[in-house]
Amino acid sequence: MLLGVDVGGTFTDAVLAVGDRLITAKAPTTPSDQSEGVLAAIEAALQRAGAQAEEISDFAHGMTVATNALLQSQGARTAFVATEGFTDIVALGRQDRPELYRLCAARPPPLTPDEGRFGAPERMTPDGPLRELDPDAAARLARAIADYGAEAIAVCLLHAYRHPEHELALAEAIARELGGPDRIHVSLSHQVVGTFREFERAATTEVDAALSPLLAGYLRRLIERCDEAGVPEPAIMQSNGGLIDLESAAGHAAWTVLSGPAGGAAGAAFVARAAGTPDALCFDMGGTSCDVCVVHDGAVQEQSAGTIAQRPLALPMVAVHTVGAGGGSIAWRDGGGALRVGPRSAGAEPGPACYGRGGTEPTVTDANLVLRRLAADAPLAGGVQLDIGASQRAIEALAAELELEPERCAEGIVRVANAEMVRALRVVTVQRGIDPRRYALLAFGGAGGLHAAAIADELGITRVVCPRASGVLAAVGLVVSPRRRDVQRSVLLAGSALTAPAIAELVTELGDEARSQLGAPEDAELGVVYELRYRGQAFELAVPGEPDAEPDDLRAAFEDLHEERYGYRDREQELELVTVRVSATLPGGEVSLHDETVGEPERGSREARLGGEAVTLQVLRGSPPPGTELAGPAVLELPESTLLVPEGWSGEVDEHGTTQLRRG
Q: What is the CATH number of the domain that holds 575?
A: 3.30.1490
Domain count, the chain: 3
| DSSP label of 296 | E
Instruction: Verify that 121 and 83 share a domain, yes or no.
Output: yes
Task: Work out whether strand 185-188 and strand 152-156 pair parallel, antiparallel, or are unpaired.
Answer: parallel
Instruction: Verify that 608 and 577 share a domain, yes or no.
Output: no
* Residue 413 lies inside a defined structural domain of this protein: no
d(CA 608, CA 633): 10
What is the three-class DSSP state of 636? Answer: strand
Tell me which of 555, 586, 617 is where a domain ends.
586
pLDDT in tens, 377-435: 877 766 778 899 999 999 999 999 999 999 999 999 999 999 999 999 999 999 888 89
In this structure, are residues 254 and 214 in contact, taking their beta carbons and an 8 Å threshold?
no
Instruction: Verify that 550 and 627 share a domain, yes or no.
Output: no
* Residue 198 lies inside a defined structural domain of this protein: yes
Secondary structure in 3-state letters for 615-634: EEEEEEECCCCCCCEEECCE
Instruction: Verify that 622 and 494 share a domain, yes or no.
Output: no
Q: How far apart are the first and last CA of the chain?
A: 42
Instruction: Verify that 612 and 565 share a domain, yes or no.
Output: no
pLDDT of residue 218: 94
What is the three-class DSSP state of 28? Answer: strand
Tell me which of 186, 215, 244 is where a domain ends.
215
Stretches where the chain sits below pLDDT 50 are none
* Residue 608 lies inside a defined structural domain of this protein: yes
Instruction: Verify that 563 and 628 share a domain, yes or no.
Output: no
CA nearest 199: which of 108, 97, 91? 91
pLDDT in tens, 621-637: 988 889 999 998 999 99
CA nearest 584: which of 528, 508, 519, 525? 525
| DSSP label of 540 | -
d(CA 481, CA 336): 46
| DSSP label of 481 | P
Secondary structure in 3-state letters for 314-345: CCCEECCEEECCCCCEEEEECCCCCEEEEEEE
Tell me which of 529, 554, 586 is where a domain ends.
586
pLDDT of residue 464: 96
pLDDT of residue 555: 96
* Residue 14 lies inside a defined structural domain of this protein: no
Half-sphere exposure of 550 (CA within 13 A, CB side): 3
Instruction: Verify that 111 and 187 share a domain, yes or no.
Output: yes
Instruction: Verify that 526 and 608 share a domain, yes or no.
Output: no
* Residue 363 lies inside a defined structural domain of this protein: no
Residues of the domain holding 574: 483-586
d(CA 104, CA 69): 25
Instruction: Verify that 183 and 105 share a domain, yes or no.
Output: yes
CA nearest 351: which of 385, 322, 307? 385
H/E run at residue 43 = helix 34-49
Instruction: Verify that 84 and 211 share a domain, yes or no.
Output: yes
* Residue 104 lies inside a defined structural domain of this protein: yes
d(CA 89, CA 203): 8
* Residue 444 lies inside a defined structural domain of this protein: no
* Residue 376 lies inside a defined structural domain of this protein: no
Instruction: Verify that 199 and 89 share a domain, yes or no.
Output: yes
pLDDT of residue 595: 66
Instruction: Verify that 570 and 659 share a domain, yes or no.
Output: no
d(CA 219, CA 396): 43
Asked if residue 316 has a cis previous peptide bond (ω within 30° of 0), the answer is: no
Cβ-Cβ contacts under 8 Å for 100 (sequence gap 6 or more): none
